């Protein structure tokens, strides 16, 4: 709540409560909605598939039903690169075959399919923005993950003495150093993409974009970079692979750059 902009109206509610969601949208009747709320941990979704498939999809349906009922015209879904478990081509474009790598990824794909049918049957305009690895913070708001599960903050916590070591989940992937390769995109650049997509939906009824910088960095490369910048050793422990983790996820964001003029302000 401390991150809410002072000019924004904050309303606390649970998407699992359809009556509350309906009442809020009936009162405010937003023209556009950006849907960020979901469970997002790939490994956890492999352990608790019902929780992820159930809650993510059900909550999105609650929001969408109220949105359509009360006249929302544009809807933006925060989707995921986990739609692409075994891509044939790297970097990954929107034309890549969709094959979710986990119940989390499947839940996002199911919501994309629901949006497709709501566009066909109800005329809802939508954008599915498939994040690769969101990272970074703003000076004004910072970041707050509880519990922390993201690589870069975890690595820096080790450097700050808040953790003894960083865990690497697998070093036997088919990548140059054996660890997973990811494309990191700053949250400010993601926010800019959402604004551009919301505006573009006035003229284009359906948008689907992969969002990343187009450069991949392995887990070991991230750790080594942090060592060089902080001057700390940052001990690392190699654990077995984590179920649901693809070897390499790097985005081809040519489409959104061409169509909407989006450019990352924090290239990697």
Does the annotation count 173 as an active-site position?
no
Question: Left, alpha or beta for 203 (phi > 0: left; psi -120 to 50: alpha)?
Answer: alpha
User: Nearest 5°: CA angle at 211, between 263 and 267?
Assistant: 45
For tokens 């929302």, name the residue. 72
104, 109, 131, 184: the catalytic one is 104
**From CA 35, how far away is CA 66, in angstroms rounded?**
13
Closest among 65, 79, 76 to 201, alpha carbons compared = 76
For tokens 């992820």, name the residue. 52
Structural contact between residues 238 and 159, judged by C-beta atoms closer than 8 angstroms: no
Other CB atoms within a 10 A radius of the CB of residue 39 amount to 17
Active site residues: 104
């Amino acid at each position: 709540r401390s991150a809410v902009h002072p000019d924004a109206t904050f309303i606390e509610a649970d998407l699992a409560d359809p009556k509350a969601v309906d009442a809020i949208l009936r009162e405010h009747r937003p023209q556009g909605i950006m849907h960020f709320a979901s469970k997002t941990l790939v490994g956890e979704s492999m352990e608790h598939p019902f929780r992820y498939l159930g809650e993510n999809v059900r909550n999105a349906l609650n929001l969408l039903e109220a949105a359509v009922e009360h006249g929302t015209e544009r809807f933006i879904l925060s989707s995921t690169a986990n739609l692409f478990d075994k891509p044939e081509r790297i970097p990954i474009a929107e034309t890549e075959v969709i094959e979710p790598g986990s119940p989390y990824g499947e839940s996002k794909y199911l919501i994309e399919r629901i949006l497709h049918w709501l566009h066909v049957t109800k005329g809802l305009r939508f954008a599915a923005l498939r994040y690769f690895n969101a990272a970074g913070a703003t000076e004004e708001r910072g970041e707050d993950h509880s519990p922390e599960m993201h690589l870069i903050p975890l690595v820096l916590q080790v450097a700050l003495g808040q953790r003894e070591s960083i865990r690497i989940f697998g070093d036997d992937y088919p990548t140059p150093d054996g660890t997973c390769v990811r494309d990191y995109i700053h949250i400010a650049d993601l926010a800019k993409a959402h604004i551009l997509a919301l505006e573009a939906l006035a003229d284009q009824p359906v948008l689907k974009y992969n969002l990343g910088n187009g450069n991949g960095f392995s887990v070991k490369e991230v750790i080594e970079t942090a060592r060089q910048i902080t001057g700390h050793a940052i001990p690392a422990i190699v654990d077995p692979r984590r179920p649901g983790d693809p070897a390499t996820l790097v985005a081809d964001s040519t489409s959104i750059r061409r169509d909407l003029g989006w450019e990352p302000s924090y290239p990697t």
